[in-house]
Amino acid sequence: MATLGALDSLTSKLREIHHLHDAAAVLSWDQETYMPAGSGAIRAEQLATLQTLAHNQFVSREVEALLCTFLDSETGILLSKHQDSLDDTSQALLRETWRDFSRAKKLPSAFVNKLERECSIAQQVWAESRQTNDFQRFLPNLERLVGLKRKEADYLGYTDSPYNALLDTFEPGVTVAQLRPLFAELRTHLIRLLKQIQHSPVQPNTSLLTQSFDTTKQIDFGRLVLKQMGYDFQRGRLDLSAHPFTTSFHPTDVRVTTRVFENDMPSCLFSCIHEGGHGLYEQGLSTQHYGTPLGEAISLGIHESQSRLWENSVGRSQAFWQYFYPKLREVFPSQLGGVQTDEFYLAINQAEPSLIRVEADELTYNLHIMVRFEIELEIIEGRVQIDELPEIWNAKIEEYLGITPSNDAEGVLQDVHWSFGAFGYFPTYTLGNLYAAMLFDQAKKDMTDLEQNISQGNFQPLKNWLNKHVHQWGRQYSASDLIQRVTGQPLTPEPFIRNLEEKFGNLYQFPTSFSSKTST
Amino acid sequence: MATLGALDSLTSKLREIHHLHDAAAVLSWDQETYMPAGSGAIRAEQLATLQTLAHNQFVSREVEALLCTFLDSETGILLSKHQDSLDDTSQALLRETWRDFSRAKKLPSAFVNKLERECSIAQQVWAESRQTNDFQRFLPNLERLVGLKRKEADYLGYTDSPYNALLDTFEPGVTVAQLRPLFAELRTHLIRLLKQIQHSPVQPNTSLLTQSFDTTKQIDFGRLVLKQMGYDFQRGRLDLSAHPFTTSFHPTDVRVTTRVFENDMPSCLFSCIHEGGHGLYEQGLSTQHYGTPLGEAISLGIHESQSRLWENSVGRSQAFWQYFYPKLREVFPSQLGGVQTDEFYLAINQAEPSLIRVEADELTYNLHIMVRFEIELEIIEGRVQIDELPEIWNAKIEEYLGITPSNDAEGVLQDVHWSFGAFGYFPTYTLGNLYAAMLFDQAKKDMTDLEQNISQGNFQPLKNWLNKHVHQWGRQYSASDLIQRVTGQPLTPEPFIRNLEEKFGNLYQFPTSFSSKTST
Of B152, B171, B275, B311, which one is the catalytic site residue? B275
- Rounded Cα gap, residues B213 and B264, in angstroms: 8
- Rounded Cα gap, residues A204 and A346, in angstroms: 6
Read off the pLDDT of each residue in A30-47 and give the average, rounded to a whole number.
93
pLDDT, residue B516, reads 46
Domains of chain A: 2-162 (1.20.58), 176-202+353-424 (no CATH), 207-350+428-519 (1.10.1370.30)
Alpha helix stretches (DSSP H) within B244-283 = 265-283
Read off the pLDDT of each residue in A47-66 and give the average, rounded to a whole number.
95
pLDDT beyond 90 at A150 = yes
Task: Give the closest of B20, B26, B42 to A49, CB-based.
Answer: B20
pLDDT beyond 90 at A216 = yes
Single out the residue of A417, A434, A413 nearest to residue A426, CA to CA: A417
Chain B residue at shortest CA distance from A14: B49
| Burial classification of residue A48, based on how many CB atoms lie within 10 Å of its CB (0-12 exposed, 13-18 middle, 19 or more buried) | middle
A263-273 in b/e form (b: 16+ CB < 10 A) is: ebbbbbbbbbb
As annotated, the active-site residues of A are 275
| B304 assigned to active site | no
- Rounded Cα gap, residues B277 and B307, in angstroms: 4
3-class state of residue A515 by DSSP: coil
- Local confidence band at A518 (pLDDT 50, 70, 90 cut-offs): very low
Read off the pLDDT of each residue in A480-509 and give the average, rounded to a whole number.
97
pLDDT beyond 60 at A516 = no
CB-based contact A190:A363 (threshold 8 Å): yes
Q: What is the pLDDT of residues A176-209, one digit of tens each?
A: 999 999 999 999 999 999 999 999 999 999 999 9
Alpha helix stretches (DSSP H) within A34-161 = 40-58, 61-67, 88-106, 109-132, 135-156
pLDDT beyond 50 at A118 = yes
**Which residues are CB-neighbours of B122 under 8 A, at least 6 positions away?**
B138, B141, B142, B144, B145, B419, B420, B421
pLDDT, residue A232, reads 98
Is B23 within 8 Å of A46 when comparing Cβ atoms? yes
Cα–Cα distances (Å) from A385 to A408, B32, B227, B450, in that order, read 16, 52, 53, 67
CB-based contact B293:B474 (threshold 8 Å): yes
pLDDT, residue A512, reads 76
Run of H or E residues at A292 = none
B window 217-256, beta carbon within 8 A of A = 232-237, 239, 249-250, 252-253, 255
Q: Is A474 left (phi over 0), alpha (psi -120 to 50) or beta?
A: left
Read off the pLDDT of each residue in A289-303 and give the average, rounded to a whole number.
98
**Which residues are CB-neighbours of B22 under 8 A, at least 6 positions away?**
A42, A46, B249, B250
The answer to whether A49 contacts chain B (CB < 8 Å) is yes
- Local confidence band at A1 (pLDDT 50, 70, 90 cut-offs): very low
The answer to whether B282 contacts chain A (CB < 8 Å) is no
Q: Which residues of B touch A11 (CB under 8 A)?
A: none
pLDDT, residue B176, reads 98
CB-based contact B427:B171 (threshold 8 Å): yes
Task: HSE, CB side, 13 Å, CA atoms: give it for residue A230.
Answer: 20
- Local confidence band at A175 (pLDDT 50, 70, 90 cut-offs): very high
**Which residues are CB-neighbours of B94 under 8 A, at least 6 positions away?**
B67, B70, B71, B78, B86
CB-based contact B482:B173 (threshold 8 Å): no
Q: What is the pLDDT of residues B336-359, one digit of tens each?
A: 999 999 999 999 999 999 999 999
- Rounded Cα gap, residues B167 and A114, in angstroms: 46
Q: Using 50 as the pLDDT threshold, list the residues of chain B that sit under it.
A: 1, 516-520
